Structure 1
Amino acid sequence: MKKMISLLVLLVVIGVGFIYYIKNDLVNSVTYSDKVETTNNSVEQVNLKTENISSKTLLLKNLDTNDILLKKNSKQKVAIASLTKLMTVYVLLESVKDLNETVVIEQSTMDKLMKEGASLSGYLVGDTLTVRDLAYGIVLPSGGDASITAANLVAGSEKKFVSLMNKKAEEIGMKDTHFQNTTGLDARNHYSTTEDLLKLMDAALKNKNFYQVLVTTKYQTEEKAYAPEGYYIESTLLKDTADLSLSNGKILGGKTGYTEKAGQCLISIAEIHGTHYLLISTGANGNPTTEQKNVADARQIYQSIEHS
């Protein structure tokens, strides 16, 4: 009898595990539509040749009017790579109000990330960094070390900090989002949608410090123990070119991301004819050694906006 009960328990556990695997593997096996939904109004029109867009999901919003101008697979659950770090830095800046509070990068943090092949900020183990340094280190060079150091500062561990990230996601209505880490490295049950990422941005952009970090492309720290002149870091947006100007305006800043599962991703803000726009995209073809097709898509989309 005991053997029968044990067998039944084992079968139930296997069944639950299989359902969990199937549910969370859907992010890997989705079918994307090529259709881009457009909404034109009296303020602007978007004349876009959609066949030239590489990104598999996208959403374009006029930040001044709150109008959604473009959508593509915006409800699809996808891997989001380092776009995750925008939630990381948002929770950091909401949790620690004093940007001059300091913390030290630990060797264990660096060792873990180097084994995983994660992107790093350029800061060194033993550096005493301010929360301000961490925020820019998370967003501009996409520093996983800065992300985990922020997590340790706020919550004592990455695991506990991720719980705060998921709690914040629930609070702002991100119903199709779940985080497993602070860095965006591919992990089962780590996903979001462009519509949910818009909810994150709508909330986070109200934090003036978050906005300032996002629209900054270059940052210089103060003097550090291992860097007498401080550290100079710049945005991964500048990988292909330092010129973010457009024919009708300028990309002000943003956050790129890439993993093999997520493709090239980007959240950016641009000013066009005096109006501010937010663009969220994931799944562009390419990798860290190729052209930034996420940025190329953004340029094409922003430059397709015409004001009447």
Structure 2
Amino acid sequence: MAEIESKANPEGQQTAATVDASTEAEREIARRKRQDPSNPLDKARSHRLLAVIKKESVNTPPYKEPSTIVHVWPHLVMIEFLCAIVFTITLFITSALIYAPLEGIANSEQTPNPSKAPWYFLNLQELLLHMDPALAGVIIPSGALLLIGLIPYFDTGTGQMGRWFTSDRGKAVVIFSAVFTAGWIIFLIAFDVLFNLNKILRSTFLSSIKVPIMGGDPTDKFGFAPTSLDVVLGNWVIPLLAIFGLATLLAFIVRKRFGADRRDIFQALFTGFVISYFILTIVGTAMRGPGQDFFWPWAMPPKH
């Protein structure tokens, strides 16, 4: 019996080996069929390219598009379209309710008093009353436009881009900057209207001191002309100190009070620029009468 079993055992092993070989051959044939590009099942089967990845990135969730992204169409375009419609309707209503007749052809021998620039230049015309014309008409607007154009090169942070006021802190910074700028602009205009800084300086000994400044004097080969010190202080030094001093003070207060970063400071300074532009335009439009003197809107004399 043991002898029969010993004889049958090799046959069993040979049979098992034959079955394993046939199974392996069938697997190889099936694998080749799966790799055959003409096999329709192979086209429907998804393939994956294996690669070595870091262990900590195995459980990383798949990338999802941020939910804060707003596409230009239809969101932005629809808002701009609605704003254009509202602006057009408002313009039609304003033109129908407010009578604004055209005046006669301009006559250089009979100019109106006051003679005002277009409304978008009235802020600069208002500045002309408080400082040197070159400073008010060329240097300050050119410098402001240059600084605005340089903002993207200094504000390089990517956080909260495109968001109104950037954050809750940014909103508080903008409100504070608007109130701060409005208060100082109104105070400076009122002080100059009531006391006339140039007249005060002219009544002092400073008017007797002459300093050479670049004024295009033809008698001087370098173009320097002797100018009274009171004129230099009233038209150049004091206005520049007021502009840069108040801007520096605003940035300092915003940083200390709100813990502002660079972007918040840019928001504060730009808010100051916008508020200054707005207030100077209102004053130059509605509060300057004959001779560019100050009048309240309800006391404005007729043009002559």
User: What TM bracket, shorter-length normalisation?
Assistant: under 0.3
Bigger strand fraction = 1
